[in-house]
Amino acid sequence: MQGGAFDLAGRTAIVTGSTRGIGLGIAQLFAEMGANVVVSSEDAGDVAETETVLAGQGYRVRGIACDVTDGAAITGLVDGTIAAFGRLDILVCNAGITGEGGSWALEDFDRVMAINLRSMVTLTQL
């Protein structure tokens, strides 16, 4: 469906948390619209499988495993994207968790904030 109002040909997108659910749907749609897409999750096996499936559908896709709580891994995600496609135009920070229901533990709060907020700030800065 390239060439329409939402033509993304030549653009490159990172979609975090994109091996299933909403993130995978976004990655598939962007690829369908012509974008180069980097799929990412902390699970390297899921990332490789998703990359294989999307590439098998003819999309320009690269899988890069990334734990978004790890600053070095986030830098590697951005650097790997630019190495693969030469640019970065779109960032979808889809990775997110809800944390333990009813938990008031600071460790749980810190993990939720690291994934849901800090990773977005770090990625956007890069």
Predicted local confidence at residue 103, as pLDDT: 85
Tokens 């790890």 locate to 70
pLDDT digit string (tens) for 4-40?
678 999 999 999 999 999 999 999 999 999 999 999 9
Residue among 99, 101, 78 nearest 90 (CA): 78
- Topology of domain 12-125 in CATH is Rossmann fold (3.40.50)
pLDDT digit string (tens) for 45-89?
999 999 999 999 999 999 999 999 999 999 999 999 999 999 999
pLDDT digit string (tens) for 90-113?
999 999 999 888 889 999 999 999
